[in-house]
Structure 1
Amino acid sequence: MGKLGVIIVAAGRGSRMGTAESKQYLQLGQKPILVHTLQLFQNIQEVDEIILVVGADDVDRCSGYVADYGITKATQVLAGGAERQDSVRQGLGALQPGTEWVMVHDGVRPFAKKEHIFACLTKTQETGAAVLAVPVKDTIKVVDGNNQIQSTPDRRSLWAIQTPQAFRLALLLEAHEQAERAGFLGTDDAMLVERLGVKVSVVESDYYNIKITTPEDLPWAEWIVHNVRGEA
């Protein structure tokens, strides 16, 4: 198999957290959230390289994390773009020659289970594109601008999409290039690949693989660290 590169995107400001500090730098256990995420991929043998994309003001701080916590697979810490999609594109351009596979992962999602990451990678090597996801538990409603329900999709067809999302590198590069030419902004990388008419496979993950986004997520994240996914 060709080389596997991981792009960790952590350039967001995270206004929903309501803290002066960006959410990826808040402490979880004894370390910043982002460090937990970096260590997760550092400790996966199959990962050849990590590209970390952060806010321009945070490059020095994150380069310090990489050095202090021994993240030897992190070859570059880059300043991201205006949108998440721009940041991923920066990361794609920085991957080493010989990289065949790429995973894109949220810096504030420190609890992806290694077995699920492997399953996502395996499915990608079979199909070219795969994402982690979980079936939604709640009934979902489509609501209009007046806060009135328009429709109720069948819950059995609805999945909440997570990261990592994994792709053959050439495919994701093409998807980003086409999106850039069309001025199309997607909410995740899978959406850009879907635009090409390529089927993206879903690999079932679990509900611990949370994205730490709002204040309510922090106590839940602390519980997960101490009870489920702690680095014993």
Structure 2
Amino acid sequence: MKMRERKRCTAIILAAGQGKRMGTAVQKQYIELDGKPLIYYPLKVFQDSDLIDEIILVAGSGQVSYVQDEIVRKYHFSKVSVVTEGGKERYDSVWRGLKAMRREGAGLEEEQGYVFIHDGARPFVDEAIIKRGYESVKKHKACVAGMPSKDTVKLIDENDFAVKTPERKYVWIVQTPQIFEEALIVEAYSRLAEQECIHVTDDAMVVEEMMGTAVKLYEGSYENIKITTPEDLKIAIAFLKSR
């Protein structure tokens, strides 16, 4: 697909998390899966995608040089235009990624494009998910990958007693990438940056809360898991073997 036939697509890949729940000395994004660091796998998918024009990689504190040398250059990720340092919280890292993207594009006479925000700890994103997301964001301006919950979900009170059971057909497990029109997500995070009390857990919530914009869910994959605990790592190894 030629660039003039569509809007510019930028992927912001988040790899700044500490991964404390993994319980390893190595941060989870650098844990090896089949001889390659975890972050390699999502980067490879976005690198190879015909839809993605550039990648902004958000690394942990003090890790920019390491990531540039041992990840970007080593594996020839030519679409990575910027490696920037993340912040304390996820939303800090996303905001820094957005600002790095806009600095990189300064002076370019291009129409506003789309931004794909993806967790670097989700190694099994694939081209089909990216394409479904692109078609969705064209129609809805804001969308997130997800899958219907396989389990019944309970809402609880402060004492861990169940207070409500939502109908399962209305419950989705949210994933990434989360995709937005560039102007929309930049303005949402700009407003968020001015807030003193911030309680957001994903990019969709920022757009919902700051802009009042409805966010469409589109089909991700049950394999598009986030590696957070040692148990997740075992599942990831099984997925890799099956492929």
Q: Report the TM-score range of the alignment, normalised by the length of the smaller protein.
A: over 0.9
Q: Secondary structure at the match of 2:114?
A: strand
Q: Does the 8 Å CA contact 2:51/2:131 hold for their aligned counterparts?
A: no
Shift of 1:57: 2.3
Give 2:97's match in structure 1, choosing from 91, 95, 114.
91
User: Are 2:87 and 1:111 equivalent residues in the alignment?
Assistant: no
Any idea what the Cα deviations from partners look like across 1:42-75, whole Å, max 9, x if unmatched? 0102211100001122212211110000000001
Residue 197 (structure 1) aligns with: 212
Separation of aligned partners in 1, 2:100 and 2:199: 21
Q: Tell whether 2:243 aligns with 1:221.
A: no
Structure 1 position 21 matched with structure 2 position 26? yes
Deviation at 1:100, TM superposition (A): 1.2
**Deviation string for 1:149-174 (max 9, x for gaps)?**
12111111110000000000000011
Is 2:201 the partner of 1:187?
yes
- Shift in Å, 1:113: 2.3
Superposition deviation, residue 182 in structure 1: 2.6
Residues 41-56 of structure 1: matches in 2 within 5 Å? 41-56=46-61
Listed as ranges, the gaps of 5+ residues in structure 1 are none
Q: 2:14 aligns with which of 1, 5, 9?
A: 9
1:76 aligns to what SS in structure 2? strand
Shift of 1:2: 2.4
Question: 2:134 is matched with which residue: 109, 118, 121?
Answer: 121
Asked if the contact 1:121/1:130 (under 8 Å) is kept, the reply is no
User: Is the contact made by 2:14 and 2:59 (CA closer than 8 Å) also made in structure 1?
Assistant: yes
Aligned to 2:172: 159
What is the number of residues matched between the two proteins? 228
Query: Over aligned residue pairs, what C-alpha RMSD do you find?
Result: 1.2
Check whether the contact 2:13–2:57 (CA below 8 A) recurs between aligned residues. Answer: yes
Deviation of 1:125 (Å): 1.2
Paired residues of 2:142 and 2:214 also in contact (CA < 8 A): yes
Deviation at 1:126, TM superposition (A): 1.4
Residue 161 of structure 1 aligns to a residue whose secondary structure is strand
Q: What TM-score, normalized by structure 1, do the two folds share?
A: 0.95
Structure 1 CA distance for aligned equivalents of residues 142 and 160 of structure 2: 35
Gaps spanning 5+ residues in structure 2: where? 1-5
Per-residue deviation, residues 118-141 of structure 1 (Å, max 9, x unmatched):
111111011111110000111111
Write the distance in 1 (CA, Å) between the matches of 2:188 and 2:16.
21
Residues 165-193 of structure 1: CA deviation (Å, up to 9, x unaligned): 00000000111112222333310000011
Contact 2:56-2:84 within 8 A present in 1 as well: yes
Separation in 2, partners of 1:56, 1:197: 32
Distance 2:128 2:45 in 1: 12
What SS is found at the alignment partner of 1:138? coil
Q: Distance in 1 between matches of 2:199 and 2:158?
A: 21
Percent same amino acid at aligned positions?
A: 41
- In the alignment, structure 1 residue 60 sits paired with structure 2 residue 65: yes
Q: Give the CA deviation at 1:199.
A: 1.1
Note if contact 1:179-1:185 (Cα within 8 Å) is conserved in structure 2. no
Give the secondary-structure state (helix, strand or coil) at the position aligned to 2:18: coil
